[in-house]
Amino acid sequence: MSKLLPEAALARTQALARHVHNDDLAQLDAWLVVIADDLDETAWRTLPRGEWLRAECGRRKLRNGSVITARLDTAAQTLLIAGMRKRHASVFETLQLAGRMLKEAKSTQARRLGVSTLGLPGAAAGESLEAVVAATYAAGFDLPSFKSKHQAADSLVELKLFSPRANDDLKVTRATSEGNNLARWLTALPGNELTAASYRRRVSELARREGWRMQFLDSRTLKRRGAGAFLAVAQGNETDDAGIIHLRYRPRARKTGQKLLALIGKGVCFDTGGTNLKPHRGMLDMHTDMEGSAVALGTLLALTRLNVGFAVDCWLAVTENRIGPKAYKPQDVVTASNGVSIQVIHTDAEGRMVLADALALAARERPTLMLDFATLTGACVNALTERYTGLFTNRPGWHTMLERAGTESGERVWRFPMDEDFDTDLESPIADLMQCTPDSKGDHILAARFLNRFVPAEIPWVHLDLAAGQRAGGLGHITTDITGFGVRYAVNLLTAQKVLERAASGKQ
């Protein structure tokens, strides 16, 4: 078996509250400079090889998002990696640029990095530095590899920030990156490495390290609690290892009236489609179908590292979705733990089945807010591509705030409708609810309406259908196909947008 858990990111950051000196450059393998793409001539001249770079940028029409490199005349032959950024670039664009710059640095095996900005006003400079830090933590982290001659990349070990405005937001960036790295690492594991049993072992070790209480709701417990929707999916497994992992983080200082966040994630370790078997291309990457649970876990890790002052419960619905003699079938009828009966239509719509019970169980603890992550529907990917993630909520008035978390974090979300009248599509002649429709028109919306039946209306709930969980070439500052999308979004929502305060105040 592979290592139980990943090693921490190699990169160390050091904020130097000043501009770069020539002696500093001599100590760097690569110097990353984020430059305003409308920089004037005199400012260009302040940069070593500035004249040449300016001419090249002009000739090649390099604008927002472009990266250009030049070797400097230092003993270490420091590589200058210039990234061109427009003044009003979005956070997403800024992260994307940082990702490209780090890719360049990594390809030259640079170990000692420095970063500066040039010609950017305060906020843009701060965002650019943060982006480079986030990209460095991501690039300096190895996803699992099973090559017999595997060599750990010992590149990107150190990043110096040369900026008079070196800030303390870096703590948030570090914690968030650790969460994202963990999420990507677990998601990248092959299906024979990350089975339900090994997932449980890994999480249990992590819980021990991080001081979380852990409870494993196995199939017997779930049967007792009437979790028939989860168990319908789990019954097709070869071994009886599936279950719902419940983790608890509690802040050191306990206050009365403490807020409770519930994170919920779809943890399908492999989605074959079940009895309605997927075809080759559709099945190929389905070992990543547990990414929602990994993102929930990564978010919990980030919040723990940040020592947040609210309580967090995390619910991971872990199973496979397999074909076989015991597997559930179309037209089976099962009942979830909140008493809602479901007519099964398509066994490949297993995500909503396992989440139904995970949501219902999470809701019993009366959390202030429920936030779930799931690679739930292909329809969401069809609607958005892999650049955005679909967002659904039972609090329509929160839309501006929920979208702002996407813009500010650079993990962009798009809201879909959640009107009640969609429910008529899910009316079943024999049960309370149909799992999905026989055709899959707007299935991401219907899946969200389905899940809504397992969340009490009085609990604010946000559902992310992770269309951006996996994208060829990566997304933003993440350059691996598996993006770990959601940790940055959730941390922004919880810390910058103060969503729990809003939830507790009862404002719709």
Quote the CA–CA distance of 327 and 232 in Å, as a whole number: 8
The answer to whether residues 186 and 290 touch, using CB atoms and an 8 Å cutoff, is yes
CB 192 to Zn ion: min, Å: 18
Q: What are phi and psi of 150, to 5 degrees?
A: -65, 130
411 binds ligand BES (CB under 6 A): no
CB neighbour list of residue 273: distance below 8 Å, 6 or more residues apart: 282, 283, 321, 323, 347, 348
84 binds ligand BES (CB under 6 A): no
- The sign of the dihedral angle between the CA atoms of 225, 226, 230, 233 is positive
* Closest alpha carbon to 485 in 355, 373, 371, 369: 373
Do strands 30-36 and 79-85 pair parallel, antiparallel, or not at all (unpaired)?
parallel
Out of 127, 178, 271, 320, the residue judged to bind Zn ion by CB under 5 A = 271
Quote the CA–CA distance of 503 and 508 in Å, as a whole number: 8
Quote the CA–CA distance of 25 and 335 in Å, as a whole number: 65
Out of 29, 130, 350, 411, the residue judged to bind ligand BES by CB under 6 A = 350
Residue 86: CB atoms within 10 A of its CB come to 17
Q: How many residues bind ligand BES (CB under 6 A)?
A: 16
CB 273 to Zn ion: min, Å: 6
Out of 178, 193, 348, 372, the residue judged to bind ligand BES by CB under 6 A = 348
Q: How many helices (H) and strands (E) does the chain have?
A: 17, 17
Residue 265 or 351: which CB sits closer to ligand BES?
351
13 binds ligand BES (CB under 6 A): no
Active site residues: 278, 352
CB 200 to ligand BES: min, Å: 21
Residue 353 or 494: which CB sits closer to Zn ion?
353
291 binds ligand BES (CB under 6 A): no
293 binds ligand BES (CB under 6 A): no
With CB under 5 A as the contact rule, which of the stretches 79-87, 106-114, 288-296, 400-408 interacts with Zn ion? 288-296
The answer to whether residues 346 and 261 touch, using CB atoms and an 8 Å cutoff, is no
377 binds ligand BES (CB under 6 A): yes
Per-residue x/- track, 341-360, Zn ion (CB under 5 A): -------x-xx---------
Out of 381, 402, 500, 503, the residue judged to bind ligand BES by CB under 6 A = 381
Residue 102 or 342: which CB sits closer to ligand BES?
342
Q: How many residues bind Zn ion (CB under 5 A)?
A: 6
Quote the CA–CA distance of 121 and 163 in Å, as a whole number: 12
With CB under 6 A as the contact rule, which of the stretches 68-76, 327-335, 378-386, 472-480 interacts with ligand BES? 378-386
The answer to whether residues 470 and 386 touch, using CB atoms and an 8 Å cutoff, is yes
Please, which of residues 327-346 interact with ligand BES by CB under 6 A? 346
Out of 361, 443, 462, 468, the residue judged to bind ligand BES by CB under 6 A = 443
193 binds Zn ion (CB under 5 A): no
Q: Tell me the β-bridge partners of 12.
A: 158
Residue 443 interacts with which of ligand BES, Zn ion, none, CB < 5 to 8 Å by class: ligand BES
443 binds Zn ion (CB under 5 A): no
Out of 29, 104, 241, 289, the residue judged to bind Zn ion by CB under 5 A = 289
Out of 78, 94, 275, 440, the residue judged to bind ligand BES by CB under 6 A = 440
SS3 letters across 21-89 = CHHHHHCCCEEEEEEECCCCHHHHHCCCCHHHHHHHHHHCCCCCCCEEEEECCCCCCCEEEEEEECCCC
Quote the CA–CA distance of 161 and 356 in Å, as a whole number: 46
Residue 127 or 348: which CB sits closer to ligand BES?
348
Do strands 112-118 and 369-374 pair parallel, antiparallel, or not at all (unpaired)?
unpaired
465 binds Zn ion (CB under 5 A): no
CB neighbour list of residue 324: distance below 8 Å, 6 or more residues apart: 236, 238
Residue 268 or 318: which CB sits closer to Zn ion?
268
Question: Helix or strand or coil: residue 203?
Answer: helix
349 binds ligand BES (CB under 6 A): yes
Q: Which residues bind ligand BES (CB under 6 A)?
A: 271, 289, 346, 348-351, 375-379, 381, 436, 440, 443
Q: Which residues bind Zn ion (CB under 5 A)?
A: 268, 271, 289, 348, 350-351
